[in-house]
């Protein structure tokens, strides 16, 4: 009397097995690639850098990804060759300086290699000044934002790269490890003694900077004429106030200016224009279409940010492209999954039916691991999710600025 039910169960099990075989992935097919469903990227472990001894970095498997392979594929704008920042946290100055070099040519002026380290020197001085004025209650690190570089340039001017290299004793690469350790120890000592004499403190700070970087010139010679750095800035015709920065956050009302709440905004600048994400992305792209270049502040500690392959993408195992929106962007920022790691200079773009790509000039070492030395190719999804700020000439975004009261 129990024979028929047993046969029935066996039939059901056999049918389930056959169904699983017929519906399961075919040989060579990745799980999740079901017709009509979104593609699912696979995660894999790879060597993080050319010098890594083992594959322990979780990354996206780029197999099958259609992507640019050469900067020549992009609509490119004038820029000087990439320059490495070495072992420093000064990407913000390299990005902003590169932007101004491109701006000179866009404005029909001669090609000039400007000094990144002249701006870095004075940024260190101003960080120390604020640290003393705030009695130690101020962020002290090597990082800053590109708009802070513009503030230092407005304050102290510019010189050419040949006028001030920041390299002493025959060195050919930057390394600020020892410099910054000494600077922090000196300022921490002042804090421990409650010694807040600003003039005396800055004399000590400048002595440290002079020893590691060299003393910046008070005058340079241009076409046989002595000029101060501020006079040289005026002669170049560059106006630091002409550059505006944009963010896209829910913690600020849209179409207002406010603070970019990251440690590298050490001066608590509230000059960041806040846009909804769709306008943020579109304003960035439209600026490039008009022939302008822009700096970006990005998160580059990501599984889709691969120096050996020259690309920055957002894997679907992080978030599918259709789910990237204002809220998912904000969540990653507030949770710490997105951090303000790096500043770069966008010097070109590539539009295609499968998404836009951006040509990025980069000063960090991982931009030199792949074939496109000194460059990255950012996918538009990466910019929408992981680019926290961009800065561009105000003329590139006139129609956007009109939406801000008082601008």
Q: Which helix (H) or strand (E) holds 199?
A: helix 198-213
How many angstroms separate the CA atoms of 390 and 405, rounded? 20
In the three-class reduction of DSSP (H, G, I as helix; E, B as strand; rest coil), residue 94 is classed as helix
With cut-offs at 50, 70 and 90, classify the pLDDT of residue 21: very low
Q: What is the pLDDT of residue 353?
A: 82
How many angstroms separate the CA atoms of 49 and 366, rounded? 7
Can you spell out the DSSP letters for 315-340?
-TTT--GGG-SHHHHHHHHHHTSS--
State how far Cα 178 lies from the chain centre.
Answer: 24
How many angstroms separate the CA atoms of 37 and 53, rounded? 38
pLDDT digits (tens, 9 = 90+) for 201-256: 999 999 999 999 999 999 999 999 999 999 999 999 999 999 999 999 999 999 99
Q: What is the pLDDT of residue 405?
A: 81
Give the pairing of strands 272-274 and 243-247. Answer: parallel
pLDDT digits (tens, 9 = 90+) for 273-297: 999 999 999 999 999 999 999 999 9
Q: What is the pLDDT of residue 372?
A: 97
How many angstroms separate the CA atoms of 216 and 94, rounded? 17
Average pLDDT, the chain: 91
Q: Cite the beta strand spans of 132-234 per DSSP E.
A: 220-222, 225-227
Q: What is the pTM of this model?
A: 0.90
Q: What is the pLDDT of residue 34?
A: 54
Domains and CATH numbers, the chain: 71-401 (3.90.70.10)
């Amino acid at each position: 009397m129990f024979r028929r039910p047993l046969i029935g169960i066996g039939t059901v099990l056999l049918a389930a097995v056959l169904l699983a075989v017929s519906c399961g992935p075919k040989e060579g097919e990745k799980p999740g690639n079901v017709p009509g469903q979104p593609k699912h990227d696979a995660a894999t472990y790879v060597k993080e850098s050319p010098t890594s001894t083992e594959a322990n970095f979780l990354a996206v498997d780029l197999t099958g990804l259609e992507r640019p392979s050469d900067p020549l594929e992009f609509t490119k704008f004038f820029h000087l060759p990439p320059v490495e920042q070495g072992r420093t946290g000064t990407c913000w100055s390299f990005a902003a300086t590169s932007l101004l070099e491109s701006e000179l040519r866009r404005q029909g002026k001669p090609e000039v290699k400007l000094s990144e380290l002249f701006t870095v020197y004075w940024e260190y001085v101003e960080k120390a000044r604020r640290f003393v004025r705030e009695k130690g209650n101020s962020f002290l690190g090597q990082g800053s934002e590109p708009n802070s570089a513009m503030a230092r340039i407005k304050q102290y001017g510019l010189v050419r790269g040949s006028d001030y290299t920041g390299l002493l004793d025959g060195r050919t690469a930057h390394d600020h490890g020892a410099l910054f350790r000494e600077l922090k120890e000196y300022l921490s000592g002042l804090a421990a003694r409650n010694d807040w004499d600003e003039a005396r403190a800055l004399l000590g700070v400048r002595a440290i900077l002079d020893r590691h970087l060299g003393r910046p010139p008070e005058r340079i010679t241009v076409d046989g004429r002595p000029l101060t750095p501020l006079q040289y800035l005026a002669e170049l015709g560059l106006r630091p106030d002409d550059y505006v920065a944009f963010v896209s956050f829910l913690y600020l009302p849209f179409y207002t200016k406010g603070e970019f709440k990251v440690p590298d905004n050490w001066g608590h600048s509230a000059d960041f224009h806040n846009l909804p994400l769709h306008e943020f992305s579109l304003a960035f792209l439209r600026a490039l279409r008009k022939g302008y270049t822009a700096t970006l502040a990005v998160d580059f500690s990501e599984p889709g940010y691969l120096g050996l392959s020259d690309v920055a993408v957002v894997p679907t195992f992080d978030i599918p492209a259709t789910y990237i929106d204002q809220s998912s962007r904000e969540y990653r920022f507030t949770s710490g999954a997105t951090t303000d790691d790096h500043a770069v200079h966008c010097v070109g773009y590539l539009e295609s039916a499968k998404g836009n790509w951006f040509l990025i000039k980069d000063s960090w070492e991982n931009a030199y691991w792949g074939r496109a030395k000194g460059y990255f190719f950012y996918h538009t999804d990466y910019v929408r999710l992981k680019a926290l700020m961009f800065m561009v000439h105000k003329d590139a975004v006139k129609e956007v600025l009109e939406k801000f009261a008082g601008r």
